[in-house]
Structure 1
């Protein structure tokens, strides 16, 4: 990045990457790879990164973040608005807090009409972990689940409250369709697309399968005492054994450039550069402008994953606990305690020293 001769295909322009995305995805300390870069709001600057003992290991290419979709036809229907105001004493609006979200979801839950308030992804898989970590951050916990010091932050008190909130909407006072305890990203998308719920959350733009279901709207997911929707990003890197590092670097700078990302967005790419989002959101002819606006806002406040060599196994153990509690087979505290024991064993087996 400091060699002008290698930046002849495209300008790297680190400051143009969405800051949180860049630092979470591409910036590491070789001697402490579990540690995240401490400041993630300022535009990326190579000198500041290296001065803090970190380095850049790739360039981000695709950013996924949890966004909320909703059926505009329901939220704008005069009869629905009047009924909601009569029932709750306040106007019907797209929820911006989790308390509002639960109230709106309960209002639209009408099993006799095959309509439910929202979807959740409580099946055993990374999707359930992602649901939980979004709520965990909202309830004041560490959305990374595992602290940089390898403490089991997901099992702290905010995690118990987050999981109890999740369980309440799925089992205790359900506002979701039957089968939510086994739902993944795919089932969630198809359930919402069929018009069975008023709201949904996912990591890509959504579709309503019939024109009679009306128009689709997007917004950031609600927040609690804090905000931290889950995001995860892909990056392009150079293997240290590569025989053609210079050309690999040129390819990466070109593929992650603003011009290339703007073109790839036509095929559904989720950009990683601020300038590309600005163009997509401002384009009046772009049918996905509202989705990209919600995604951009999500990426500015989101929280990524813990930096673990065995994150997949750790996520699966947490997902099993989330599922058990959500389905009502265990209390949230007991489920988290079991997950903490499993995660501790997994981290120890992988060579980590857990405090």
Structure 2
């Protein structure tokens, strides 16, 4: 009878046993087939370099490691690099990132590679967020984004000029009503014209009433859409059924409003076609503009003596209203978890952890996502912009941009040029938007 060589058989069974145990000990993500290893105690977080997302991730990484045992590895890249890297991750499913902080605009292109967050975004979480924040991170009915901060445009103005008695008397004599932060288009236009002045007597304006975003980039589009919303636009640019709305009345009225400020009233600098948010802020901070419509958090550097020559003289008011009321296009950011993450459970735990630290974004940027954080800080010195910003974010006409994959192409190829055509006088606002409508129809897929 043949005998077994146990010196050979036993090692073989030991190896087989180890393989079975190892396979059972690794949890598997059923959607992606990736394994959550107990040996790798790192969580890779993708953020924009120098952003509040980077600052908060860096500030909290030690505490997260202490709580969970996981080391947070931060990968910081430029703004466009966040999208490019995450888009590549969605395509490759390499498992390079466990969490990323992204712009609202990217959900249509990235959602297929993101993990739904229904267990994280609870009813309690939703109740502490501003209108549109949850829907902004939702695509095709799935919640993919945990909000980290939101923002919108407000009116930032020179309190010293508005509260000056001589200015108040002169304004009332000329326009027939009291000088105060503008609440609507008419008041804004009147005050912009009034404060455009030659203060040094050289025959040319050296102080402008306000500014217009006219640079060849997305700032000009966002600003124009703010006013389109105020004029009654609902479902911005493209309707829910795919119909192109951009050359209808609210959009034309909004573009006419901006061209009037620039070309007829001349209450904004002649170089407005080269100015975006950064340049208009510099103009305001240097004391050469009485007002600016700018992102709410711009109030903070406006009152910083190291940044602004008018520090201590600045106030903030809600966004102006058109016929349809207060409206703005918010700019929220979200944390997401790629489906390809090998640690989906710990990644979602990280999202919950950061949500509880939401006030750190307020300290870093001047805005946050949670209503409770806004309310807590709105009574503190240095955060006077939050009360009017909450009014803007809760405005009836405040709404997100459309959730379509073609949005960036539409903005670049149709909307930015159309705004430029109108502001430069090359086309009328109606002609500009008729042209844009045809370009958009060529970009959108057939119905």
Taking a change above 3 Å as real, the CA distance of residues 314 and 218 of structure 1, as seen in their structure-2 partners, is same
1:114-170 superposed Cα distances (whole Å, 9 cap, x missing partner): 111101101121111111111111111236222121211121122112211111111
2:382 corresponds to 1:287: yes
Deviation at 1:197, TM superposition (A): 0.9
Q: Which position in structure 2 is the counterpart of 1:339?
A: 436
Q: Which position in structure 2 is the counterpart of 1:71?
A: 158
Tell me which of the two structures has the higher relative contact order, counting C-alpha pairs closer than 8 angstroms and 6 or more residues apart: 1
1:38-73 superposed Cα distances (whole Å, 9 cap, x missing partner): xxxxxxxxxxxxxxxx23112111212111100000
Partners in 1 of 2:322 and 2:268 — Cα distance?
20
Q: How does 1:321-336 map to 2 (within 5 A)?
A: 321-336=418-433
Among candidates 134, 150, 172, match of residue 85 of structure 1: 172
Contact 1:137–1:229 (8 Å) recurs in 2: yes
Deviation at 1:190, TM superposition (A): 0.6
| Greater radius of gyration (CA) | 2
2:283 corresponds to 1:191: yes
2:409 corresponds to 1:313: yes
Contact 2:286–2:310 (8 Å) recurs in 1: no
Q: Which position in structure 2 is the counterpart of 1:21?
A: 133
Partners in 1 of 2:310 and 2:343 — Cα distance?
54
TM-score (ref. length: structure 2): 0.67
**May I ask how many residue pairs the two structures share in their alignment?**
316
Deviation at 1:175, TM superposition (A): 0.8
Contact 1:11–1:253 (8 Å) recurs in 2: no
Contact 2:285–2:310 (8 Å) recurs in 1: no
Gaps of 5+ in 2: 1-116, 199-203
Partners in 1 of 2:246 and 2:399 — Cα distance?
13
Q: What is the DSSP-based 3-state SS (H/G/I as helix, E as strand, rest coil) of the residue aligned with 2:331?
A: strand
2:254 corresponds to 1:162: yes
| C-alpha RMSD of matched pairs (Å) | 2.1
Deviation at 1:214, TM superposition (A): 5.1
Contact 2:206–2:288 (8 Å) recurs in 1: yes
Contact 1:96–1:222 (8 Å) recurs in 2: yes
Q: Which position in structure 2 is the counterpart of 1:241?
A: 340
Q: Which position in structure 2 is the counterpart of 1:127?
A: 219
